[in-house]
Structures are given as structure tokens and as C-alpha cells.
A and B are shown apart, each in its own frame.
Chain A
């Protein structure tokens, strides 16, 4: 008998997992210890930056900004599956460590959130799209990048990050459809962190998982424990290998939790369930990696201490450097708007300059 009915299932989905919270391993991870140390550094660096930036924002020295808190394994594990020399990232806005690993300077990130347009500049050779504030708009672009790489004979892939909320936008659905049709080597990395500002995950989809939407578009879907660095790396590396080999796109749903506020302007106490939050805080992804390394006997309290001190220094350096950059002049309004600016805009630039000189 042929399958002519496709009905939703409510069987619970068990996300792929390798590491228990206490650091016990179930299965064979392919991440080496050296990679895990490196990844842990990015995770702690991000946590340190988030805390610093949030404190600065409170003092009015930093703009509205969204922290990665709680999602460090999800972002770092996935980015470690990429080769920055040929793979592309199309971010949303909550993926700082992936950007850093790909080569975007921490100083620029800080500058951007201080409101300086120069922060948006992406160094030559860094395969990165700008931070995306307009939700889901980067997803079609990532699909196009991946497709273009394929058309030009590269084995590079594109990975795009976005939230459970963003996945309700048409741009997401249209992209999965196109990626399926042209077999684009793109990884759709959906971070299901439970919330889109105050809107809970259940309002974004009635399906039991986001990953199974992939089936409707003829691509692969995977659900992974987003607080498990090793598992996230494993499934992303598999999706990347498949895409490189011509096998097309994968939708990865990384199940994690935003344990901080949506951003510095948000007050989650108005809507969040404290028990749920506490349960997820207890699944802290950084702690989990450190438990794993401790169990292996390769991590001590003094290692942990030293790492945190190094990260604090690195963050301080970047923030100090960003703050030392003088406030931009009106030229910043006009720079990089056109390759070949129309005469009217060149006149406006002069007018703005003159006015600035007079004031």
C-alpha cells in the first residue's frame, strides 16, 4: 500500500545527545580534546563578553544588545564544523563566538553595539554576511551563497543561524524549498531557544519539532541537544560533509534555552516560567564541557580560573580598543552607501560636513 496520508505525529522527539550534564559520555564523539579546549575558550570568552557588555549597557556605554547566554554550545559546536577558509556564515545576531572563530574581530562587534557604523566592517577574506536584524532575511541569502559556491565548483558550504521565531517568516520556508530544489550546500541552523522575545516556542509551530519541517521541502532534518557541545559538533559536521559531497541541505534544530533576557531592553520576569528557567540553567553548556574534561582528568580548578582570567583580559582589551575609537563624523552617514555616489549625495555630504564644522 502506498503512503497517501501524512499526519502529524505527537511521539516525543529525543534530540541527539552525546554528553550528560555530569560529563558522562554516551557514544563516540569525533571532536578531539584540542578542539574541545579551543571550543571551551570561545564559550567562556562569549560568556565573559556578555556579562561585560550587559554591565556597560546599564551604564549607558553600550547599545541594546542580545547575549548568547545559555546557547554557547549550540553556537560554538556548530561553528567548529566549518572551515573558515571556504565556508560562509550568515548570522542572525546572537552568535558572537561563531563570528569570532570565522575571523570577525571582537573589537568590531563591540563597536557595532556602541552604535559606530565602522563596527559593521567585515575584514577582507572573512566569509561572513553582516549581522541580521531583520529576522530571517539572511536565510535566502545563505541559500544563494551556497548555491553560488556549488555553481562555481567550490566545495564550500554556507551555514545560517536563526531563531525559532525567525523560522515562522516566509523567508525561511521559501529558502528551504529552494535549497531542496537546487540541492544547495546550505546548513539551516535553527536555534530553538524556547522564546522569541516573550513569545513561547509553542506559538511558532504546532509541530512537535521544527526539524521535521525539512521533510516537506525534501531535505534532511535533525534534532540535537543544543547544550551538548559534542553532539552539536557531530551533527553539524555530518551535515557539512554531506553538503560538501553534493548531498544538499540540512535543517538542524538545536534545542537549547535563552537563559538571559531577549536583550538589554527586555524584562523576562513579565513572561518567563521560573521553574523552566531554573531547569535549563542547571543544564549549563559550559559547565557540561568542564565536567567532561574533569572526568577525563584533563581539567582542574586552576585551569578553569586561568581561562576566565585570560578571557576577561581579552574582553577588556577589545572593549578598551573599541572605546578608544573616536566618535564618527558625518562622513560615516555617507561612506559606503554607493560604489559610485550620485552627485546629489556628494553635495549632501559637503553640506553635512560644513554644518558639522560650524556647530
Chain B
């Protein structure tokens, strides 16, 4: 065990999985010599050579599309999509092809493909880099979507994703790359997909989030505790598969739920969680389920992004109101 940042945990995982299995290859924009714009692949090309860590021509469609082909040929590609915002350029390959290959070939072709991508806001990136677009992909049957919030989970879940015979979209919180730091085993390990993580136990309300928002919500829960509100914080980690039992158990206990997402309001993954809670916990609920999100507008430029992305104050105030009004 040792303290690692999220980016260090991801890099260590990639190195160990590549050492363990020569079929694992990394492809993407600037992943070789530079080691990726966030250095997730730093040193890998020097260790494994240019045939296993490949700088690609700048075209997300062919990066993902050829990744499908590499996988069908017998390799286990880990693709770095430089920013999730540029998944749009490959959406035909992702949505129509990656997610459905097994189904369309009636089981003949497996797709052991991982697409890693930084996403989310809060770090003043240029335009079109920061949207939290997870809902496009959770609405894509056939694709697993995970979004860890800790370095420990990033390492364990990435290893699991690489071992998986299903395609996995592995969303990494841009904001957490260097800010998030926790204890991570030095040796290889796997964390199963589809189990949420209870970040904090509580009795008054369940706060549900994923990726960078989990970290923020956990800090908000600290302040809520000072105000006498005991919040349970669930870090979903995995959006598909979703831990319905874990969510249900918590909300049955607390009787209140708030879902916090960075993405805009309408049609986000929060809506899916809310529907799930409603289906499973309706008779346990003491209050309407709260949704804390960005507004239904495009992700803005840096000077106003703090007004856009939900923050600790919003969570504290809105959750306080929810609990007090239903007390």
C-alpha cells in the first residue's frame, strides 16, 4: 500500500497489466513520446515499445474503430480518448459498433476493449473539453460505463475493465487526476464493476454521486454533519452495471435521497437514479427525491464555470432544506 494520485494509480495499473498480458496495447493521441496530455501513459512506450503504445493520427473515429478491429484480431486494446468531449467524433463507432458487436455477431465476436477518457469540469479547460456526457453512453446498451472517484478504485476497476470481455468506457475525473490521492495497493488487484462504495455512513439522507462529484459531496456531508444532518454518501463508481441493491438498501434506511451530477438537468444519469429509487423505495420516502445538477445550458468558458458546476454550498443548502422541510 502507498499513497498515490489518481493519475499514478492509472499509470501503475496500465504498466502492470501490460507486463502481465502481452495482448494489452495502448493506442491514442499523444500517448507515446509525451505519455498522454495528462501523463497517464508516461514511460509506457519506453518500456513496451512503439508497437504496444501507439501514437495515432488525430482522428477519434479511426482510433475507436480500429480498436474494434485490433480487439477482433486477438489483442486487448486500451484506448485513450484525449477528452470525452471528442467522443462525438467517434460516436458512430462507439454507439453503433462498439456497443453492439457481440449482439450483431450473435456472440461470435467479443470486444475486450477499454476506452479511457478524462471528463468533467472545474479545471478551466478550453471550450468543449469539460462536459459530463456520461448519459450519452449509459443510454447505449451493450457498453459498460464506470466512473471511479478514488485512486484505489481507478486502479482496481481499470484492471477489471481490461480483464473484461465486454467493452468498458472508463471515465476519469479530470479534476481528480492530481487532487485525489489515497492508499492503493502496489500489487495488481481487481475491483468488481457494479458495486457502489459507501463513502460515509449516515441516517437522515442518502447522497448519491459518482466521479469528481462524489469527492465534493463527501466534503459537503462533513458540513451537513456539523449542522446536525447525518448524510450517507454513495459513490456509485459504476453506472452500468448499476448497484440497485446498494442504492435501495441505503435509501430504505435513510428515507431521503439526493442525486448530484455535474451534467445538465434534463435527461442526465441522475434522472435514471431517481427513477430507480422511486421504483424501489417509494413507500420508504419521506420527501421528494432531490436532483442537484448544472442548468440545461452548454458547459461555459472558465470564468463562469464555478457558477455552472454544482458545488459544496449548493449541496449543503439544498440538502438542508430537503431534510428540514420533511422533518
Q: Say whether B321 faces chain A, with CB atoms less than 8 Å apart.
A: no
Task: Tell me the complex Cα distance, A296–B61, Å.
Answer: 51
Tell yes or no: A327 within 8 A of B by CB: yes
Q: Check A328 against B30 for contact (C-beta < 8 Å).
A: no
Determine if B58 and A115 form an interchain contact, defined as CB atoms under 8 angstroms apart: no
The interface stretch among B140-148, B169-177, B218-226, B293-301 is: B293-301
Which of A165, A270, A328 makes the CB contact (< 8 A) with B34? A270
**Within the complex, which residue of A116, A170, A348 is in contact with B61, where a contact is CB–CB below 8 Å?**
A170
Given A64-B126, A115-B304, A333-B307, are A344 and B55 also a contact pair (CB < 8 Å)?
no
A103 at the interface (CB under 8 A from B): no
* B85 interface hit (Cβ, 8 Å): yes
Interface flag for B56 (CB, 8 Å): yes
Contact B303 A328 (CB under 8 A): yes
Residue B57 CB within 8 A of the other chain: yes
* A115 B34 Cβ-Cβ under 8 A: no
Interface size on A, residues (CB 8 A): 47
Q: List B residues 42-63 near A (Cβ within 8 Å).
A: 55-62
User: Is the pair A134, B86 in contact by a Cβ cutoff of 8 Å?
Assistant: yes
**Contact A330 B296, beta carbon cutoff 8 Å:** no
| In contact, B266 and A134 (Cβ under 8 angstroms) | no
Q: Which stretch of A14-22, A31-39, A195-203, A228-236 is in the interface?
A: A195-203
Q: Which residues of A contact B313 (CB under 8 A)?
A: 359
- 132-146 of chain A: CB within 8 A of chain B: 133-135
Taken residue by residue from 27 to 48, chain B's Cβ proximity to chain A (1 for < 8 Å, 0 otherwise) reads as 0011011110100000000000
Measured CB to CB, the nearest residue on chain B to A332 is B304
Contact A198–B30 (Cβ < 8 Å): yes
> A120 vs B57: C-alpha distance in the bound complex, in angstroms?
29
A271 CB–B CB distance under 8 Å:
yes
Say which residue of A168, A265, A270 sits within 8 Å of B59 (CB atoms): A168
B3 within 8 A of A: no
A115 to chain B, nearest CB (A): 3
Closest to A163 in B: B58
The CA-CA distance from A327 to B86 in the complex, in Å, is 29
A110 to chain B, nearest CB (A): 12
Beta-carbon contact of A333 and B59 below 8 Å: no
Expressed in whole angstroms, the Cα–Cα distance for A342 and B265 within the complex equals 13
Query: Do the beta carbons of B301 and A337 come within 8 Å of each other?
Result: no
Interchain CA distance A8-B125 in the complex, whole Å: 40
**Whole-angstrom CA separation of A291 from B33 in the bound complex:** 37
Our pick among A114, A116, A171, A356 for the contact of B307 (Cβ within 8 Å) is: A356
CA distance A202 to B35 in the complex (A): 18
Is B124's beta carbon under 8 Å from chain A?
yes
Bound Cα distance from A197 to B126, whole angstroms: 15
Residues of the B chain whose Cβ atoms lie less than 8 Å from the Cβ of A166: 58
Contact B296 A348 (CB under 8 A): yes
Within 8 Å by CB of B33, from A115, A131, A198, lies A198
Contact with B along A330-359 (1 / 0, CB 8 A): 101110010000101100110010011001
- Chain B nearest CB from A114 CB (Å) reads 6
Q: A133 and B295: CB pair below 8 A? A: no
Q: Complex Cα distance A202/B238, Å?
A: 39
Nearest-neighbour CB distance to chain A for B182, whole angstroms, equals 25
B127 touches A133 (CB 8 A): yes
User: Which of A64, A328, A345 touches B295 (beta carbons < 8 Å)?
Assistant: A345
Is B314 engaged at the interface, CB distance under 8 Å to the other chain? yes
A168 touching B57, Cβ below 8 Å: yes
Out of A133, A199, A345, which one reaches B296, CB within 8 Å? A345
B242 CB to closest chain A CB, in angstroms? 26
- Count, chain B residues at interface, CB 8 A: 41
Q: Which residues of B contact A117 (CB under 8 A)?
A: 300-301, 303-304
A32 to chain B, nearest CB (A): 38
Q: Quick check: A328 and B124 within 8 Å, CB to CB?
A: no
Q: Nearest residue in B to A196 (C-beta to C-beta)?
A: B58
Q: Is A23 an interface residue (CB 8 A)?
A: no
Task: Tell me if B302 is interfacial: C-beta within 8 Å of chain A.
Answer: yes
List of A residues within 8 angstroms of B86 by Cβ: 134-135
Give A172's nearest chain B residue, CB to CB.
B59
Q: Contact flags (1/0) for B7-35 with A, using CB distance below 8 Å?
A: 00000000000000000000001101111
Q: Is A247 an interface residue (CB 8 A)?
A: no
Complex alpha-carbon distance, A311 and B25, angstroms: 50
Residue A188 at the chain B interface, CB threshold 8 Å: no
**Bound-state Cα–Cα, A348 to B86, Å:** 28
- The answer on a CB contact under 8 Å between B303 and A114 is yes
- Shortest distance from the beta carbon of A59 to any chain B beta carbon, whole Å: 14
Tell me, in angstroms, the Cα distance from A196 to B55 when the chains sit together.
Answer: 11
How far, in whole Å, are A166 and B88 apart by their CA atoms in the complex? Answer: 15
Q: How far, in Å, is A274 (CB) from chain B's closest CB? A: 14
40-64 of chain A: CB within 8 A of chain B? 63-64
CB distance from B96 to the nearest CB of A (A): 15
Q: Does the CB pair A270–B308 fall under 8 Å? A: no
Q: Tell me whether B179 is interfacial, beta carbon within 8 Å.
A: no
Interface: B128 (CB within 8 A):
yes
A76 to chain B, nearest CB (A): 24
Interface centre among B86, B88, B124, B126 (most CB of A within 10 A): B126
In chain A between 314 and 339, which residues have their CB closer than 8 angstroms to a CB of chain B? 327-330, 332-334, 337
Could you jot down 21 A-B contacts, CB within 8 Å?
A64-B124, A112-B301, A115-B304, A117-B304, A134-B89, A135-B58, A170-B62, A197-B29, A197-B34, A199-B30, A203-B55, A203-B56, A271-B33, A327-B303, A328-B303, A329-B307, A330-B307, A333-B304, A344-B296, A345-B296, A348-B296
Besides A133-B126, A171-B89, 20 more A-B contacts (Cβ < 8 Å) are: A63-B124, A63-B301, A115-B301, A116-B301, A133-B127, A133-B128, A133-B129, A134-B85, A135-B86, A168-B62, A169-B60, A198-B34, A203-B55, A270-B33, A271-B33, A327-B303, A332-B307, A337-B298, A345-B295, A355-B314
Q: Which 10 A-B pairs have the closest CB atoms?
A: A115-B302, A115-B303, A198-B34, A165-B58, A168-B57, A348-B295, A168-B59, A168-B58, A115-B301, A271-B33
**Contacts from B to A (Cβ < 8 Å):** 29-30, 32-35, 37, 55-62, 85-86, 88-89, 124-129, 265-266, 295-298, 300-305, 307-308, 313-314
